[in-house]
Structure 1
Amino acid sequence: MTLVAPTARLVDAATGAVLAGAELSAEVARHAAGYTDAPAGVVFARSALTTASVLRYAGAFRAGRPVALLDPALAPAVLADFVTRFEPAVVVGVGEGGAGAELCELPKGYDDTEHPVLGRCWVRRTAPAALPHPDLAVLLATSGSTGDPKFVRLSRAAVLANAHAIGDALALGPDEIAPTSLPLFYSYGMSVVNSHLAAGATLLVVDGGVLAKEFWQAVDAHQATSLAGVPYNYEMLHRIRWRPGRHPSLRTLTQAGGRLRDELILHFHEQISASGGRFHVMWGCTEAAPRMSTLPADGLPGSVGSVGPALPGGAFTVLADDGTESADPHVTGELVYRGPNVMMGYATAVADTARGDDQAGALRTGDLGYLDERGFVWLKGRLKRFGKIFGIRVNLHDIEDLVRADGPAVAVSGPDRVVVFVVGIDAEAAQALAGRLSERLRVHRTGFDVRPVDALPQLPNGKIDYRALEALA
């Protein structure tokens, strides 16, 4: 298996430049050769949504150099800490990111150079304290956030297995054209790149995001066929009354990165179906390279709320309270995933990059749920997303489900209460909502603090910034 199939194409929306076939293969090989003179060790790649970033990533992959995909807007102090702890052989993409992409000072032991292929980069003068394991291919922060202290270690086999499994599940082929609607350093964004290049499809490199006029101009100009989004993307598109029918080339919508409200899943399913297209709900995590399941398009509307069965090659079981694993329908517990795409383990320092496979293909997801008779997964929330109100344990995910009719909401645990942030309601409605929660859960009214907000804080990858909300609770 290969990351870049012979029919794959890269199209740069900003310049109109196209790399395809033998020319793309040669360009990836040229970037792979660019790492030859760097000392042994991992590559740190500051990765904006540019063709150069994609080529540096694909080149490192082809060269067998483990690459950590980093947000170019990473805080300078965090970048400096990562360099200290992981001792990368080279930091590429030094000039990526534009506004808000401030660099730290040149780390000690590195030279600031201008490489003829890789561009401006920092090159380490000596080898790191530990050499990476030969199977290691990609390092990703566990949530894509700017302050995460650890990376997920993904093997080459895991990345390729997931890319090809996604291609099979979505029937990707050379006629597909996917725009870069998500950051490359975010696992879902990376998987869009991987799955389309591996399937021999076209990757349309376009920056700006789904709310930018220029993004949709590029989609129409280059006849993009699909859109990948997280719940926030679809919430915002719904708010501005976006319709896929306005972009006739679109035929596939995919959603992952968190739970989208059932009513919006059905809304976008109906919209894209009216144009002869399909809507796929997908589920995964960075630790699984990153996708684990997909709901077939014909699973809607009947199975709305499910994230579907495991991708080809994977399987789910449920870890019951007694510690046994079961695939029996309707046994609720922690979901366990097994597949070739499971991570090797975590890394918090350079020594961890030398470790082999700690997982043996098994991943405890930390998500509660059950399997139905068809093997479809139904999620019931996160194990850690619980709070206590006057000593009573409550599921924060369930509370969010109860209030979502009033607007997008996030519940976080505060001291002896639950704080619920709800978008688009006024103070009077917030008070009434707190009363309804009190009655429904039979907990005193003072145990709920409902706060109206204009918008929920977002991480760079489009997910909810729970840490920011917890700090306000």
Structure 2
Amino acid sequence: MMFPHPRARLIAAGDAKGLEGDDLARYVKRSAENLDGLRPGPLFCAMRNTLASVFCYLGAWHSGRPIALLDPDLPTATLADLAERFRPAALLGFTNPLDGPPPPRGDLPEPHPDLGLLLATSGSTGNPRLVRLSRQAVLANAAAIASTLSIGPDVISPTSLPLHYSYGLSVLNSHLISGATVVLTEAGLLERSFWADFSAHGCTSLAAVPYQYTMMRRMRFDRERYPALTTLTQAGGRLAPELIREFAGQVDRFYVMYGQTEATARMAVLPPERLADKLGSAGLALPGGRLEADDDGEILYHGPNVMMGYADTADDLARGDDLGGVLRTGDLGRVDPDGFLHITGRLKRMAKIFGIRVNLDDVERMLRGSGPVAVTAGDDRVTIWTETLDPPARVLMARRLAAELRLHWSGFEVNHIDRLPLLASGKIDYRTLESLA
């Protein structure tokens, strides 16, 4: 399986031609050769939506070196913690690198030979764990996505999501493996330059998370301005049914998808022709995968794209496959008689806000000292319940959280409540709070 495919093309926004075929292969080979002189061990890459970052990723892939694709804007303390725990061979592309070289590796074992990719999974809170993904898992998921979404050489997609985010990276991988074109841009969907490049390059497909679709509605997105656009895809959380209907009515194909970083990217896709009768479903398992619900209602996924396991330290990188292709998703739901997945909740207190995973318990810990508070979450929103703060202070709390978690302030709502509901055990009754939201 060729990766990238000989017909794959990368275009930097503003460049008319881009790189493909032998030219692209030559740049990837050169990048791989530049990594050969580094000491053994994993690589840390500040993954931007740029040619330089993509070549760093592909160079590591072709040199057989595991690489962690990280948020280039990670706080220095978080990056330092990761470097101390995983002892990378090099920090590549960070604008605010650590003082001095990475910590020495000492007698640490070499990473497992199957290990190809490391992605952070804890989102914007806490000290990230890394998801260990084999090269085979990455290729299997990319091929399954390309097949299910009919991605071929005629498809042109922009980088509408960060490439260090599993959904954004899966767009890149599924296009590179199928000979399609990726337009690399660091502009966001709310910037005019994004849409100017989208139109100039004749983009045919766009991937977005629920928050982006909400913003597109507010900006009165009109597909008629982009006649080449035929396909929209959505993952990263639940999208309101009315938005699904609205955007599905503007294009030939609208794909609702379900996935997790722990499954490389995606596990299920709702075929466009089943939107009408399966609206609200997360879809069917990808080719080669299988979904089921256990006796407690937790969704289990079986497939070749399941991670090898988590990593907390450099020692974990030497481990083989801990999961055997079975992922306990932490989501509650059911699989209907037709095989379609329906998500009903979460086992743990995690939420996705604008596509970023947020630990609600971490948010509560951040608010210690602000009086009695509880935190719940809904679609693209964290709700903080407080007994004490006046309205101006509640606004300030929302904006402070947004700044600390590096999320848009509209993802936080602070509500006053006379008294937080409690269970008989004395713990906060989160279900009652969720019913009030």
TM-score bin (small chain): 0.7 to 0.9
Match of 1:284 among 253, 259, 262: 259
Question: CA offset at residue 265 of structure 1?
Answer: 0.9
Match of 2:208 among 200, 219, 229: 229
Specify the alignment match of 1:117 in structure 2: none
Asked whether the 8 Å contact 1:6–1:200 carries over to 2, the reply is: yes
Question: CA offset at residue 91 of structure 1?
Answer: 1.5
Return the alpha-carbon distance in structure 1 between the equivalents of residues 313 and 409 of structure 2.
26
Is residue 268 of structure 1 aligned with residue 247 of structure 2?
yes
Specify the alignment match of 2:140 in structure 1: 161
Question: CA offset at residue 416 of structure 1?
Answer: 8.7
Specify the alignment match of 1:23 in structure 2: 23
Asked whether the 8 Å contact 2:90–2:102 carries over to 1, the reply is: no
- One-letter code aligned to 2:281: S
Specify the alignment match of 1:106 in structure 2: 100
Does the C-alpha gap of structure 1 residues 92 and 263 become closer, same or farther in structure 2, counting only changes over 3 Å? same
Asked whether the 8 Å contact 1:369–1:380 carries over to 2, the reply is: yes
Does the C-alpha gap of structure 1 residues 411 and 34 become closer, same or farther in structure 2, counting only changes over 3 Å? closer
Asked whether the 8 Å contact 1:87–1:128 carries over to 2, the reply is: no
Specify the alignment match of 2:48 in structure 1: 48
Return the alpha-carbon distance in structure 2 between the equivalents of residues 411 and 67 of structure 1.
25
Question: CA offset at residue 44 of structure 1?
Answer: 0.5
Specify the alignment match of 1:141 in structure 2: 120
Question: CA offset at residue 130 of structure 1?
Answer: 2.1
Question: CA offset at residue 419 of structure 1?
Answer: 5.8
Question: CA offset at residue 40 of structure 1?
Answer: 1.0
Question: CA offset at residue 63 of structure 1?
Answer: 1.0
- One-letter code aligned to 2:278: S
Is residue 94 of structure 1 aligned with residue 74 of structure 2?
no
Does the C-alpha gap of structure 1 residues 20 and 411 become closer, same or farther in structure 2, counting only changes over 3 Å? closer
Question: CA offset at residue 219 of structure 1?
Answer: 0.5
Question: CA offset at residue 244 of structure 1?
Answer: 2.2
Superposition map of 1:66-465 within 5 A? 66-95=66-95, 102-107=96-101, 129-145=108-124, 147-272=126-251, 277-321=252-296, 333-385=297-349, 457=402
For normalisation by structure 1, the TM-score amounts to 0.76
Specify the alignment match of 2:434 in structure 1: none
Which moves more between the two structures, 204-213 or 242-251? 242-251
Question: CA offset at residue 234 of structure 1?
Answer: 0.6
Asked whether the 8 Å contact 1:89–1:127 carries over to 2, the reply is: no
Return the alpha-carbon distance in structure 1 between the equivalents of residues 80 and 40 of structure 2.
20
- One-letter code aligned to 1:106: G
1:103-161 superposed Cα distances (whole Å, 9 cap, x missing partner): 3323455xxxxxxxxxxxxxx7x666221000000000014436443100000000000
Aligned residues: 394
Asked whether the 8 Å contact 2:53–2:93 carries over to 1, the reply is: yes
Q: What is the DSSP-based 3-state SS (H/G/I as helix, E as strand, rest coil) of the residue aligned with 1:301?
A: helix
Question: CA offset at residue 245 of structure 1?
Answer: 2.4
Question: CA offset at residue 94 of structure 1?
Answer: 3.0
Give the unaligned 5+ runs of structure 2. 365-371, 421-437
1:365-406 superposed Cα distances (whole Å, 9 cap, x missing partner): 0001111121000110111249xxxxxxxxx99xx9xxxxxx
- One-letter code aligned to 2:100: L
Asked whether the 8 Å contact 1:144–1:461 carries over to 2, the reply is: no
Specify the alignment match of 2:428 in structure 1: none
Question: CA offset at residue 461 of structure 1?
Answer: 8.7
What is the aligned-residue identity percentage? 48
1:231-289 superposed Cα distances (whole Å, 9 cap, x missing partner): 111111111211222211111100001111111111111122xxxx2100000000000
Q: What is the DSSP-based 3-state SS (H/G/I as helix, E as strand, rest coil) of the residue aligned with 2:73?
A: coil
Return the alpha-carbon distance in structure 1 between the equivalents of residues 4 and 409 of structure 2.
28
For normalisation by structure 2, the TM-score amounts to 0.82
Specify the alignment match of 1:116 in structure 2: none
Is residue 13 of structure 1 aligned with residue 13 of structure 2?
yes
Q: What is the DSSP-based 3-state SS (H/G/I as helix, E as strand, rest coil) of the residue aligned with 2:316?
A: helix
Return the alpha-carbon distance in structure 1 between the equivalents of residues 38 and 212 of structure 2.
39
- One-letter code aligned to 1:307: A
RMSD: 3.4
- One-letter code aligned to 2:162: P
- One-letter code aligned to 2:305: N
1:319-350 superposed Cα distances (whole Å, 9 cap, x missing partner): 113xxxxxxxxxxx110000000000000110
1:189-218 superposed Cα distances (whole Å, 9 cap, x missing partner): 110110000011001101111111000000
Asked whether the 8 Å contact 1:316–1:337 carries over to 2, the reply is: yes
- One-letter code aligned to 1:318: A
Asked whether the 8 Å contact 2:28–2:59 carries over to 1, the reply is: yes
- One-letter code aligned to 1:315: R
